[in-house]
Amino acid sequence: MNAVAPPESQGAAEVVRTYQAWPGKNKFCLGGRLIFGPDVRSLFLTLFLILAPAAIFCVFVARKLMDEFSGNWGISILVVFIVFTVYVLVLLLLTSARDPGIIPRNAHPPAPENLGANVEPGPNQTASLPRTKDVVINGVTVKVKYCETCMLYRPPRSSHCSICNNCVERFDHHCPWLGQCIGLRNYRFFFMFVFSATLLCLYGHGFCWVYVRRIMDSEKTSIWKAMTKTPASVALMVYSFLALWFVGGLSVFHLYLISVNQSTYEKFRYHYSMRTNPFNKGIVQNFIEVFCSSIPESKINFRAKVQKKSGATLNGGC
């Protein structure tokens, strides 16, 4: 599907980029090439929580292990850790700095005659523009809701994020640690980031114990005295153990969600145990869908030129 820009206003003469006139709360960088959520500052905290312990490990553990292991084994511990850390950071950027699957807004509400017969009026709407309508997915009837902000009926599995003020395809959740919605176009990278962070914690935690053990063997001392000689290793072991409960737990939780083809939003909002999940294709096909299917192009060209609406506030970007 080709990326499209929102409908242009006919009354304004000033031409701006789409990201500058975007009505959502997103933050843009590099002329609209990078898109973040409004809470992008939390991303710097996440970067610190990764880079600070990584630097401590390289200086106080991996560098010492280079002297403990002969040949290339010592330096390989450091090189693998650095490469793996960079890989985690790349996944972090791919998750937080891309369009998660934002659905373009309509300039006007949909025509009532195109809505179909199976509809349910909402309390604040007229019968001609109902709050929900029925669509059939794999033989199962699913209700889709009308979004008054975006003036559209959301596609199945989509939801409106109140933080970013956008409707997002296959909405999973808004991640406060990454400052971005997790949806159709970045869920794969989100899971890879969380899972890779888990492996990085295990790697650092394991080699901290290896260094403590080397001290015990070389100085013929107890584990407690060995730990007093490398407080950085002790601090990293405690930190990585606590971090493992978080990222490791998230990894296990999302492995389960992928296996049953559910999003976090669906898991807590809908109870498919009470009815059939129309999106479940079986464990193998569910994993193929997440990791092997092509990622669709963004439906919005944030760098396209549009006419500025009268009185609209422009996003400056960075």
Question: What tens digit of pLDDT does each residue of 171-216 get?
Answer: 999 999 999 999 999 999 999 999 999 999 999 999 999 999 999 9
The token pair at 255 is 């492995």
Question: In 3D, which of 47, 49, 77 has the Cα closest to residue 209?
Answer: 77
Whether the predicted pLDDT of 125 surpasses 60: no
The answer for 56, left when phi > 0, alpha when psi is -120 to 50, beta otherwise, is alpha
Whether the predicted pLDDT of 240 surpasses 90: yes
CA distance 5 to 17: 10
Residue pair 214/167 in contact by the 8 Å Cβ criterion: no
Identified catalytic residue from 175, 181, 201, 208: 175
Specify the amino acid at residue 284: V
Active site residue 175: yes
The token pair at 295 is 């990622």
pTM: 0.88
User: Tokens 């407080």 identify what position?
Assistant: 231
Selected residue with higher pLDDT from 168 and 318:
168
Which helix (H) or strand (E) is 199 found in, with range?
Answer: helix 187-219
Q: What is the 3-state secondary structure (H, E, C) of 150-188?
A: CCEECCCCCEEECCCCEEECCCCEEECCCCEEECCCCHH
Quickly state the pLDDT bin for 117 (edges 50, 70, 90).
Answer: very low
Question: What tens digit of pLDDT does each residue of 263-310 get?
Answer: 999 998 876 666 788 999 999 999 999 999 999 999 999 999 888 777
Number of H helices, E strands in the chain: 10, 12
